């Protein structure tokens, strides 16, 4: 099973999302090609009434094993079903990584 699939399955099982997108963004980062940079978009009723920090902590707890191992970076975008249906979302595009302290 790929890291993408593990992340997807864990988030699906924990949050029962109505929308779930797991994007491997490793190709956007400098250095050797590894499956280590991900972006997740999770829309779940579980997030209703939770602050952003609480939502992110829940994702981090769910993926603790992956974050302690192969996943170096995780961009988290969480929304309640109401926010998603009302269009109160702004999933930003991920920037191209310049690696470390590079500024080009």
**Is 100 domain-assigned?**
no
Q: Could you tell me the pTM of the whole model?
A: 0.85
What single DSSP character describes residue 77?
E
**Is 19 domain-assigned?**
yes
**Is 95 domain-assigned?**
no
User: Which pLDDT score is estimated for 29?
Assistant: 64
Query: Please, what is the Cα angle at 37 between 93 and 35, to 5 degrees?
Result: 135
Q: What is the CATH number of the domain that holds 59?
A: 3.30.300.90
Query: What is the chain's alpha carbon radius of gyration, rounded to the nearest angstrom?
Result: 14
Domain region containing 60: 3-86
Q: How many domains does the chain have?
A: 1
The three-class DSSP label of residue 75 is strand
User: Which pLDDT score is estimated for 35?
Assistant: 81
DSSP for 9-70, please give it.
HHHHHHH--SEEEEEE-GGGSSSS--S-EEEEEEE-GGGTT--HHHHHHHHHHHTHHHHTTT
User: Which pLDDT score is estimated for 26?
Assistant: 78
Closest CA to 42 of 50, 30, 32: 50
**Is 92 domain-assigned?**
no
**Is 96 domain-assigned?**
no
Per-residue pLDDT 10s for the chain (104 aa) are: 999 999 999 999 999 999 999 999 877 666 666 788 899 999 999 999 999 999 999 999 999 999 999 998 899 999 999 999 988 677 777 766 655 544 54
């Amino acid at each position: 099973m790929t890291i993408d699939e593990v992340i997807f399955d864990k988030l699906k099982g924990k949050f029962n999302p109505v929308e779930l997108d797991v994007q491997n963004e490793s190709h956007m980062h400098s250095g050797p090609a590894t499956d280590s940079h991900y972006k997740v978009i999770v829309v779940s009723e579980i997030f209703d009434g939770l602050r952003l920090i609480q939502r992110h902590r829940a994702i981090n707890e769910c993926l603790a094993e992956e974050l302690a191992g192969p996943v170096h970076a995780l961009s988290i975008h969480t929304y309640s079903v109401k926010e998603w249906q009302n269009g109160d979302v702004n999933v930003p595009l991920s920037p191209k990584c310049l690696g470390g302290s590079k500024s080009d």
